Structure formats: structure tokens, C-alpha cells
Amino acid sequence: MTDVIAPPGTHEPAEVHLPPEAPGNGHEPHGGHEDHGPTGILKWLTSTDHKVIGLSYMITAVAIFYLSGIMALFMRLQLASPHSSLLTFSQFNALFTMHGALMLYLFAGPFAFGGLANYIVPLQVGAPDMAYPRLNALSYWLYLSGSITMLMGFFVAGGAAQFGWVAYAPLSSATSSPGAGPDLFLMGIALTGFSAIFTAVNLCGTIFYLRAPGMTMFRMPIFTWNMLVTGILILIAFPVLTAAVVMLFCDRHFNTHIYTAAGCHLVNGLPMRSCGSPLLWQNLFWFFGHPEVYILALPFFGIVTEILPVFSKKPVFGYKGMVFATMAIAALSTGVWAHHMFTTGAVLLPFFSFLSLLIAVPTGIKFFNWIGTMWHGQLTFTTPMLFSVGFLFAFLMGGVTGIMLASPPIDFATHDTYFVVAHFHQVLFGTAVFAGFAGLYYWYPKMFGRMLRESLGKWHFWLMFIGFWVTFMPQYVVGLLGMPRRVASYPSNLGWQSYNIVSTVGAFIIAISFAFLLVNFVVSWRKPIPAGDNPWDGHTLEWFTTSPPPHHNYTHLPPIRSERPTWDANHPDALTVPHGKGAHSNGKANGKVTASV
């Protein structure tokens, strides 16, 4: 039946309920959303609960991540020797195309805004569910069917698409890339594109309309803020991609010539205005593609901004600065799409170079605030904290080389070399994987009511951290030596092999580290350590409810008087910095206020 939901806490408005257990002492995990509606397979098919859908997203995305990682290992094995015959050229082309597409379209984004955001955002704003639960479920089914569509390419005649995840025209035309594999690739993107758009609408609707009383915009957790900005970015970028892909499909099958110059003629010595152009694809694709980088990064910035304060025992440093920096990054990132096209010679270099360099300013503000949050804090290096600090180092390196690439002369020299490959892997691995695992270790106790093992988590982190640097640093060097990307073999007399061997060793270290995560899941499942409701002494609202949360999330909510309502409720004697007039109305002490209880 449809549930009509009254706001949590309305039955006992004057009473504030503290969590039943003190932080950390835990109690037995109990079924939250399992006790409502259908059970078993029917539950997963029919549920409109944001938590079930979020978990579905995360499980699917992690499975795709492992699959895509295996593809990367095959490519690294191929490149460990100059003329390896492990893979044919076409197999190699298919693998780098699908590795990129799976990681970017089907893992990093859906894991963040489909999985974590779906699960966490309604909890953080005190909402019973996402604003449009059935649209939310439809988003997941479109994502799953899009993923299956893309992967089906491996099983059709001609194999999967081989034109790179960017599908540049005219390489992606029916003449250059015939067969069903490229079509499945494009239609897979279209399905997941619609899924992303629906999820973004849902996130924005939830944040704008379902916040609890007192949860003003500037009291929202930074993760929720980042997801809102990510949602807006998705609404800017994904419709362009989806439309561009549909037009490419029309070029392939309905002779439309949108991305080809066939049939064009000159008017007064210039191409006719209505002429098709391969560069139009690049413009449309990168108008999606560069915001996409931040669609993949901002959620993970949000995760780290949640974790650092909790394990530093401090509020986040520069809350509003963080919010405005997020907005600035998002706004600037939408205006820099053509910095991926510098070498085409058909873009306005100073405009795109200046805006690209400008992104360093708000990103620097974020780094300053992250360091400020940890500064003089009581740091505890749990697994989520380790992954967050690892993210800071990894992303910093990727960001600095990004500033280098924003300069056209450097970009001309390094375009399509392994320098660029190293740069974007450090950016995306640093965010989606380091910060993604930070979020997974941080919120796993909330999702399942049981802890992951710290010792296994630390093995996972340190092996991955070492493997990360061993894999990607040599790629900068070999890129500067001139090794182009997307090649399955290379001359043996150019001194590239030793760097490639080191890089391959690093990739296998990373792969071994991921095995520790799987072992950790199994151990946690077979020998559960109950997490309790708030094992980390978390600050935000999701730590106020049970682990896992019940259907519709809350039976009651604490008063919301700062951006740390759960911490306020759990530390009634602690002094907190006031936030707005609502805070001042709840007990005063020398200009500061006690948390309201």
C-alpha cells in the first residue's frame, strides 16, 4: 500500500529522543527495511525504498568496477612487453574502450549519485524517502539495462566497440565501426543517460522539498550540498550527451550526416552553415565530458568532507567556503569543455585556458579547508580516514598535472600521450576509488549494522596506496618520453619497457588490495561485529537513526540547530559555535550556545 507519511517527531514535538545506545557500544543488527513489503527477490524487483535502490546501485557498480579492473590488468599485461601477443589489436581496442566506458559511465557516477547519494541524502536531510520513489526505481532499472546493453557488445559478431570511450566521429561512423557492438555501446549510454537525468531530478527534488524543519540550505551536510550541485551538473551535461548519442545513432543508420561533412559544399569559399561536422561531436561530447569529470569528483569531495571532521573531532573548517567553492568548481567546469580539443586548432585557446586555470582557485580553497579541518584536531586514523587522506595526496597530484595541461603549449606536447593517461587516472582513481572506498568503509556500518574489520581495511588501503603510485607515476615519465595512449604494442628501442613493467607491477598490487575488501565483506558477513547506531560518533543526521535505518528512516528526529544535529544531541554539554538565530534561542553561554536538548 501507499504510505502517507507524517513528519518524524510530530507526535512528540517537545520531546527529544537521544539514540538508544551511547556511541560505539552497539547492539545487535536488526532488519531495517527488510521488515516492510515483499521479501526475497520480489523485494529487489519491486522496492521503491531509496535504501534498497541505493544498495542495488552500489552492488551493480562495484561488480562493474571489478570487471573493468580485470580488463585493465589484461591491458597492463599486454603492455609489459613491447610486442606482446597476449591480445590482438582489436581485442586491445575493445578492452580500452570498454574499460573507460564501464569505469566512467557505469561505475564512478552511478556508485556516487545512484548509490551513495540515494542511500545517504534522504537520511541526511531528514526525509522519509526520495521525492519520487518510483522514478528512482525506474532510474535503477534503466541503469541496469543500459549496463547489460553495453556489455552485450562482447557477445555479438564483430565484438564490442573499439573507438574509445569518447566515440569520436568519424571513427564511430557506420563505415569505420560497423556492427552491432558500437550500436549497443551507444544505446547503453542513452539508457544510462536517462537514468542519470531521472536520478538528478530526484536528488534536486528531495533536497529542495523534503528537508526536515530547521534543516536550512546552509545547515545541510556538505555531502548533500555536493550532491545537489552534482545533480545540477547532471541536468546540464547528460541531456547533451544523450541527444548527441541519439544523433550519432541516426548518422549510423538513417543517413543524417550530422557529424560528417558528406554532401557539403563551399559558399563564398567557406563551408555552408548547415553542414555536418565531426568537430560538432567533440563539442557536444566534451560539453558533457568535462562537467562529467566533476560529476564524478564532487560527490567524492563531499564524502571526504564528511569523514575528515568526524575523525578530527572538529566541525568542518570553512563550511560556507566549501559550499561556494563547490559551486564555483561546478560553474567553471561547465565553461571549459574545449580544453580537451586544444589540438584541433578550432577552439578559442585563451578563453578555455583561462577558465581551466581558474578552477585551481576553488579547488585550492577546498584543500585549504580540508587541511584546516584536520589542523589541531584529535585525529584517529581509522580506515575511512586513511582513505580520505590518501585521496588528498592522490587528487593533489592529479590536480597539479591538470593545471599543467590547461596550458596549451604543454597540452600540445603531451596530448594523447601516457602523461594524460596518468593525469586523469590520478584524478579519477584519487576521487572515485580512494574517496569512494572511504565512503564505503564509513557508511557500511550504517547500511548493514555491522562493522568491517579495521586490520583488513588498513591492508587494503596501504596496498592500494602503494600500488597507485607505482602504477601511475611511471606513466607520467613514459608519456613525456613520447609514448602515445591507446597502442597495443610499441618499439623496443625507445626505453619505454621498464616504465611499463613497473606500471604493470603496480596494477597487480592494486588488484591484490581489492581482494582484501572482498575478504572483509565475507568476514563481516560470517562473523558480524554489531555497529550500533553511531559507531564513529558521527555528526550528521543519518547517525541518529538505527543501523540499518527502518523503513522511511526515522521515528523521531533531534532539533536541528547546526550542521551537526546528531553531534549536538549526543554531546549536550559541549559548547558549539552558534549557527543563526535558531541556535541563539537555545541556551546561551558567553556568546556560545549549548547544543539544544
Q: Which residue's CB is nearer to other proteins, number 356 or number 383? A: 356
In the complex, least distance from residue 97 CB atom to other proteins, rounded to whole angstroms:
17
Q: Which residue's CB is nearer to other proteins, number 326 or number 414? A: 326
CA distance 220 to 417: 42
Do 275 and 259 touch, CB atoms closer than 8 A? no
CA distance 388 to 433: 10
Do 403 and 557 touch, CB atoms closer than 8 A? no
Q: Which residue's CB is nearer to other proteins, number 170 or number 439? A: 170
Closest CA to 158 of 179, 187, 131: 179
Q: Which residue's CB is nearer to other proteins, number 218 or number 381? A: 218
In the complex, least distance from residue 45 CB atom to other proteins, rounded to whole angstroms:
5
CA distance 450 to 526: 11
In the complex, least distance from residue 408 CB atom to other proteins, rounded to whole angstroms:
15
Q: Which residue's CB is nearer to other proteins, number 69 or number 133? A: 133
- Which H/E stretch holds residue 589? strand 588-589
Closest CA to 167 of 335, 285, 62: 285
CA 226 to each of CA 113, 202, 297, 299, 301: distance values in angstroms, whole numbers, following the listed order: 10, 15, 10, 6, 8
In the complex, least distance from residue 485 CB atom to other proteins, rounded to whole angstroms:
26
Q: Which residue's CB is nearer to other proteins, number 475 or number 545? A: 545
Q: Which residue's CB is nearer to other proteins, number 137 or number 166? A: 137
CA 299 to each of CA 296, 305, 435: distance values in angstroms, whole numbers, following the listed order: 7, 10, 9
In the complex, least distance from residue 564 CB atom to other proteins, rounded to whole angstroms:
14
Q: Which residue's CB is nearer to other proteins, number 156 or number 413? A: 156
In the complex, least distance from residue 129 CB atom to other proteins, rounded to whole angstroms:
5
In the complex, least distance from residue 340 CB atom to other proteins, rounded to whole angstroms:
13
CB atoms within 10 A of CB 141: 14
Q: What angle do CA 265, 270, 271 make, to 5 degrees?
A: 40
Write the single-letter amino acid at 454: E
CA distance 538 to 570: 10
Q: Which residue's CB is nearer to other proteins, number 297 or number 341? A: 341
In the complex, least distance from residue 155 CB atom to other proteins, rounded to whole angstroms:
12
Write the single-letter amino acid at 569: A
Q: Which residue's CB is nearer to other proteins, number 436 or number 559? A: 559
Which residues are within 8 A (CB) of 477 and not within 5 positions of it... i.e. 6 or more apart? 499
CA distance 87 to 466: 27
Q: Which residue's CB is nearer to other proteins, number 36 or number 485? A: 36
In the complex, least distance from residue 80 CB atom to other proteins, rounded to whole angstroms:
36
At 338, list the grid cell. Answer: 574545449
- Which H/E stretch holds residue 492? none
In the complex, least distance from residue 567 CB atom to other proteins, rounded to whole angstroms:
17
In the complex, least distance from residue 331 CB atom to other proteins, rounded to whole angstroms:
5
CA distance 99 to 181: 15
Q: Which residue's CB is nearer to other proteins, number 166 or number 240? A: 240
Do 222 and 324 touch, CB atoms closer than 8 A? no
The full DSSP string for 79-105 is: HTSTT--SS-HHHHHHHHHHHHHIIII
CA distance 563 to 312: 16
Beta-ladder partners of 589: 592
In the complex, least distance from residue 472 CB atom to other proteins, rounded to whole angstroms:
32
CA distance 248 to 244: 6
Place of cell 589489436: 89
- Which H/E stretch holds residue 145? helix 133-151
CA distance 104 to 192: 11
